[in-house]
Structure 1
Amino acid sequence: MKAIRFDRFGPPEVLTLVDTDEPHPQAGQVRIKVRAAGVNGLDWKLRAGLVQDVFKVSLPSGTGTDAAGIVDEVGDGVTDVRIGDLVFGVGTGALAEYTVLDAWTLMPEGLSFTEAAGYPIPVETALRIVDQIGVQPGQTLLVSGASGGVGTAVVQIARDRGITVIGTAGVANQDYLRGLGAVPTTYGEGLIERVRALAPDGIDAALDISGSGVIAECVELTGDPSRVLSIADFTAPQHGARVSYEPVDMPAALRRAAHLYATGVLEIPVDKTFTLADAAAAQAHNEAGHAAGRTVVTVPDPAPRT
């Protein structure tokens, strides 16, 4: 099969399209024909070797975790799906014609493969961190880096819970955030003053999604480091804030993602798509930031076996 691999850490160009053996599911896993794979910030950080102290990568390695496709093999003990079902979920080496999923859920009606591939990690992360920060209905939440996949999910989940959201993004994405239901503002110098003007009664909690060095400002705005949580800045504990990066219950989060989509609460748009052969460009696009929604790699139907 065709798959994206890298055999050294470095820039996007270390990613290559290769022929490799097809994976097969173990007990409790399923294999899918991949139709689309989501690109997450962690993907390029792993490829660049930036988080080896937290997430150990052995080389050579595949890349990508989020995928949507068609079940074509089922491991022992799996009873909730069968061959031919359409699913999205999480595994390893998702940028490939076939991948094995460790957690999955059936795709709700109306959700395309391309969109579904953008849901798994962002929605699990959003559900987890909104719960962990403990923000309540009627309170105000600051989201730093609110226009990407995780931020888009956080805004919609929080708004559905009756939470006021102030979200930061680039100038080009202010209307995008407004459309999600957030009160938008730009990041950069003067952030504290801008946020205080928008929230005269104060900020109850803050989530740092972008990892752009705003933990100190978030602590000042909340007045309490325990009310600040980051998913991208591992220096946050130096300020008394927390870091969250480990999924709590991925299968439950995927089911919740499907339900939130089906009930009209959640929609994560696709900012840009790339072909499997252009996976390096896809990761470069994600790494550059400034996206409104998700970066997704589409995968063609594998060539028939001979």
Structure 2
Amino acid sequence: MPDTSGATDPAGTEPEVTYRVADRIATITLNRPAARNGYTVRMADELAAALDRADHDPDVRVAVLTGAGRDFCVGADLSQGGFDPGSDPAPGSDNATDTAAATATDPGATWQEPAGRCSRRIFTMNKPVIAALNGNAIGGGITITLSADYRLAATDSRFGFVFTRRGIYPEGASAWFLPRLVGMGRALDWMISGRLVDAAEAERAGLVHSVHAPDELLDAAYALAAELVATTAPVSVAVTRQLVYRMSPLDSPAPVHELDSKLVAGIADSPDAVEGVLSFLQKRPPEFTLSPETDLPEFLPWSQS
């Protein structure tokens, strides 16, 4: 993650990530505007918790991720000392001393770098995530969003995988996500050169889905979220996004077709499928009743992962 500077909140009184729900849309906001939303371990933990909260909240259908102030996130806030594996136990660790001892000999043994904690949580979401990327999204500020379903940018946005220019390494599992979004050649260019990419180039390459005037960006994200809430079935969305992510990298379509067959065979007993057809024939908005919290098919191969 690249460095940034700016004011910090040493007392830790303000949340570094805020969460609110309205109209079945959860708004998750990076909340260190004075530091240009410089990424910290605390922010990573609060962001992962907010994503988890949205994913398990039956009142939420879509999450919108954005940043307070002029920038989405300019990368790691190195003014706070960077990320020390020995002093930052991996999530779920029962013994910080044991974790520190393990990382002293092998820093990658148990520690999870902070950007990947969040990109991986978005990857496992059952609900769509829309990232509204205002201003700069650099280093971890862009890698945490690569697993989102949509990335919308402002006309003045810039993106950078600047790790090679800092003598460090890509994180957030970005070496897996980025080539799938923009192709191997473009991913190699951006990651090896570490150059900044403007919104127009990012849109042409497929990194972002659309570009908007800065004062219209969040409205565009909410309009997209509202459309998804009004027109799509929650369980169908949950299964579909995981199908694409988990099955498309396979080297044969056979296991995908096998799973498709099980899913399609269950349509006759699905109230959402009945409602989808009836609402289409009756030319009215659908009222889907199944929930990803309780009604996902039990045979999904990733349900235990």
TM-score bracket, normalised by the shorter chain, equals: under 0.3
State the TM-score, normalized to the length of structure 1: 0.25
Q: Larger helix proportion, structure 1 or 2?
A: 2
Q: Larger strand proportion, structure 1 or 2?
A: 1
State the TM-score, normalized to the length of structure 2: 0.26
Larger radius of gyration: 2
User: Which of the pair has the greater relative contact order for Cα pairs under 8 Å at 6+ separation?
Assistant: 1
